[in-house]
Amino acid sequence: MWHTVKGTLVIKANGHNYREAVCTAAELLRQGKLVAFPTETVYGLGASALDEEALKKVFRAKGRPMDNPFIIHICHLDQLQELTTDLPDDALRLAADFWPGPLTLVCRRSSRVPLVATAGLQTVAVRMPDHSLTLDLLQKCRLPLVGPSANLSGRPSPTTAHHVLQDLAGRISAVLDGGPCPVGLESTVLDLTTAAPRILRPGAVTREQLARALGKEIEEAASWERNKTGIPPSPGLKYRHYAPKTALCLVEGEPRAVEEKLKQLCLQKKEEGMKLGLLLSKETAPSFRGCYIKALGSRSQPRELAQNLYTALRELDEQNLDFILAEGYQGEGVVLALMNRLRKAAAEIIKA
Ligand code: TXA
Ligand code: MG
């Protein structure tokens, strides 16, 4: 009923096949196999969070450094209690307000969580995804599942089953295909083990929303990223992520200045004989021609920009370009998450 790509089973969860799809994926996971699954943010590479051998396979399949811990996905609040100790009130408050949803909470680890999952840390990252298929899968397999983004380490995160197969076909048992991911950027990671809650990775749940829910200031780990001295607050921060193979230059600043700078760089690169790709908003795109242009969406719809980012980066990468120029955006909320990913993808950042 389902086809395979290089030995990886592609389990389409639609219509009358839905129940069977969920059961098949759950059974493979219970056997300690690796199955990629969709969430509202990006596809995750699923494995039992309680099975050390399965966890080691996840590191190998992704080519992930062993010191980068996993997020554990759950479908019941009871599981948060089981996986953690000394759970702060803030965690329950945020879970009540934002779960299921794109928010990951870092809390103290309970002894039930294998150290392989937390990369030796005494803290554990947990989230309840807001996607009915993921929640059905978690219910069915009755296991907490790790779910690092289902890409090869260093590649853009996958937002479709096709992206997962581009990177991991032949390296994992199956992918559960639930269509494209609606958010398109990874969850907000919030550390609740420090004196003040601290955002380790910005996402669709914003700092303002978190501050309002808790009635207190929320810190950001961004300052560590600027200086890169001492121990990183999250192991993931020290790796260059989301990088396309083609060198990408990000131009930041006020929209008019960005457009002018992009025009100037575009001419310059063309004169150097480069095959150029442009990653632009719908508003800016009409001012350019003669290069490979990818329009992300409207500047007035930041969620649309976010949703399309990783697909666009993968598409640009397939064009055998010499260079990619990307438009930067100004704003709050999800724009900050979008700009965080664009900066990580960039080989060079220019202020217009
Ligand atoms: O939206 C998401 O969070 C997706 C979907 C599939 O759920 N998953 C995801 O996982 O992005 P991954 O492994 O690609 O990113 C997890 C991030 C890494 O930067 C990691 O360093 C950080 O979370 N992390 C995990 N456990 C941590 C911990 N105990 N303390 C600090 N950071 C942690
Ligand atoms: Mg990732």
Determine whether the shortest distance from the Cβ of 39 to ligand 1 is under 6 A: yes
- Shortest-distance Cα residue to atom 17 of ligand 1: 236
- Prior bond of 232 cis (ω within 30°): no
Helix axis angle, 207-214 to 89-98, nearest 10°: 120
How high is the pLDDT of residue 89? 97
C-alpha 5 to ligand 1 mean position (Å)? 27
Length of the chain measured in residues: 352
Would you say the pTM of this structure is higher than 0.75? Answer: yes
Distance between CA atoms of 226 and 88, rounded to whole angstroms?
29
Determine whether the shortest distance from the Cβ of 186 to ligand 1 is under 6 A: yes
Tokens found for residue 254: 């006020």
Tokens found for residue 70: 């996993």
C-alpha 250 to ligand 1 mean position (Å)? 25
C-alpha 106 to ligand 1 mean position (Å)? 9
Dihedral, CA of residue 97, residue 45, residue 144 and residue 202, to nearest 10: -30
How high is the pLDDT of residue 244? 77
C-alpha 191 to ligand 2 mean position (Å)? 17
Determine whether the shortest distance from the Cβ of 156 to ligand 1 is under 6 A: no
C-alpha 278 to ligand 1 mean position (Å)? 29
Mean pLDDT by 10 residues, the chain (352 residues): 96 94 98 98 98 98 94 98 97 98 98 97 98 98 98 94 98 98 97 95 96 95 59 65 83 97 96 96 95 96 96 94 97 94 93 92
How high is the pLDDT of residue 296? 97
- Shortest-distance Cα residue to atom 18 of ligand 1: 236
Determine whether the shortest distance from the Cβ of 101 to ligand 1 is under 6 A: no
- Shortest-distance Cα residue to atom 32 of ligand 1: 234
Q: Residue 123 CA: which ligand is closest?
A: 1
Distance between CA atoms of 51 and 66, rounded to whole angstroms?
16
Q: Outline where the chain has alpha helix (H).
A: 18-30, 52-62, 77-83, 89-98, 132-141, 161-168, 207-214, 222-227, 255-271, 302-317, 334-345
Contacts of 139 (CB under 8 A, 6+ apart): 75
How high is the pLDDT of residue 221? 79
Determine whether the shortest distance from the Cβ of 69 to ligand 1 is under 6 A: yes
Determine whether the shortest distance from the Cβ of 147 to ligand 1 is under 6 A: yes
Distance between CA atoms of 237 and 235, rounded to whole angstroms?
5
Pairing outcome for strands 248-252 and 276-280: unpaired
Determine whether the shortest distance from the Cβ of 188 to ligand 1 is under 6 A: no
- Shortest-distance Cα residue to atom 20 of ligand 1: 236
Determine whether the shortest distance from the Cβ of 153 to ligand 1 is under 6 A: no
How high is the pLDDT of residue 46? 98
How high is the pLDDT of residue 22? 98
Classify the phi-psi angles of 215: left when phi > 0, otherwise alpha if psi is within -120 to 50, otherwise beta.
Answer: left
Closest atom of ligand 1 to 109 CA is: 29
